[in-house]
């Protein structure tokens, strides 16, 4: 599994200065604050126009922690990250794309992309045991062979009809790939482009990061937490990564009032 952080939240300093000037406001800013954190603070302050004399002595981190404590989390939706996730299974992404709010997905198509050469994502519990791993490889290879064989047979059917238009041929191809993929397993490797805002990521980590029996989800959750925390520690400061006895990561949420 690999996650590429394609885009990170930032601010447009020139436009912020223009806004403050137009509104005759002074914003006492915390030094060395990331674009993600400043965006959240600015969105929060705009709600109350709490600039200058109306600002408390809170630092940016304290301001954001307070927003989260209050449940004023819509301001977290203004910061977004985009990732490309590779080396994950279709089984995993089937669960991932169930997250409807604050997420956008673009996934490798099995209706257009020939999966004959695709890798299979082997679960660690299987990989750890040689005999199981061997068996698993045999089974998944058979699925791939079946896919390739079916595709070749379906191709022969298509070639019999030479009077089709380009558009019809395209749909026949989609039909053919769809039929062939029906024998591919959940382990089939996929690639997915994911964009999500901070609030949605927090919800995702909360409900998905700590399920002991869902290792692939835990591994991805931990890596996402690591990547987003590098841009904004405070937005995710109530989450932390721990490790299970097999050394695999788990994302836990701090209980308020406890260290």
Ligand X SMILES: Cc1cc2nc3c(=O)[nH]c(=O)nc-3n(C[C@H](O)[C@H](O)[C@H](O)COP(=O)(O)OP(=O)(O)OC[C@H]3O[C@@H](n4cnc5c(N)ncnc54)[C@H](O)[C@@H]3O)c2cc1C
Interface positions with ligand X (CB under 6 A) = 98-101, 203, 207-208, 211
Q: Return the number of the residue (10 or 212) whose C-beta is nearest ligand X.
A: 212
Q: How far is the CB of 252 from ligand X (least distance, A)?
A: 15
Instruction: Answer whether 238's CB lies under 8 Å from 254's CB.
Output: yes
Assign residue 77 a region (left: φ > 0; alpha: ψ between -120 and 50; beta: otherwise): alpha
- Asked if residue 90 lies in contact with residue 186, where contact means CB atoms within 8 angstroms, the answer is yes
28 is known as an active-site residue: no
The residue from 90, 199, 202, 208 that is catalytic is: 208
Cβ-based nearer residue to ligand X, 97 or 179:
97
Residue nearest ligand X by beta-carbon distance: 100
CA diameter of the chain: 79
- Under a CB-based contact definition with an 8 Å cutoff, are residues 169 and 175 in contact? no
Nearer to ligand X, 14 or 100 (CB): 100
Sign of torsion over alpha carbons 178, 183, 188, 194: positive
The catalytic residues are 208
């Amino acid at each position: 599994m690999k996650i590429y952080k394609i885009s990170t939240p930032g601010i447009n300093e020139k436009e912020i200065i223009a806004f403050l000037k137009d509104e005759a406001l002074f914003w006492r800013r915390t030094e060395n604050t990331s674009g993600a954190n400043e965006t959240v603070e600015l969105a929060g302050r705009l709600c109350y126009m709490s600039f200058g004399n109306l600002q408390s002595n809170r630092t940016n981190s304290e301001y954001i922690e307070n927003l989260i404590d209050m449940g004023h989390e819509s301001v977290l939706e203004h910061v977004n990250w985009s990732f490309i996730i590779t080396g994950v299974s279709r089984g995993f992404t089937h669960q991932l794309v169930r997250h409807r709010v604050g997420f956008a997905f673009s996934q490798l198509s099995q209706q257009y992309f020939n999966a004959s050469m695709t890798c299979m994502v082997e679960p660690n519990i299987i990989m750890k045991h040689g005999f199981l791993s061997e068996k698993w490889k045999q089974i998944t290879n058979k699925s791939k062979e079946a896919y390739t064989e079916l595709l070749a047979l379906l191709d022969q059917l298509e070639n019999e009809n030479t009077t089709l238009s380009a558009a019809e041929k395209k749909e026949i191809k989609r039909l053919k790939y769809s039929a062939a993929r029906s024998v591919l397993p959940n382990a089939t490797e996929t690639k997915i482009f994911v964009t999500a805002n901070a609030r949605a990521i927090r919800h995702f980590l909360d409900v998905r990061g700590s399920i002991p029996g869902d290792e692939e989800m835990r591994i991805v959750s931990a890596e996402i937490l690591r990547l987003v925390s590098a841009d904004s520690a405070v937005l995710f400061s109530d989450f932390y990564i721990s490790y299970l006895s097999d050394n695999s990561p788990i994302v836990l949420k701090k209980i308020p009032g406890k260290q």
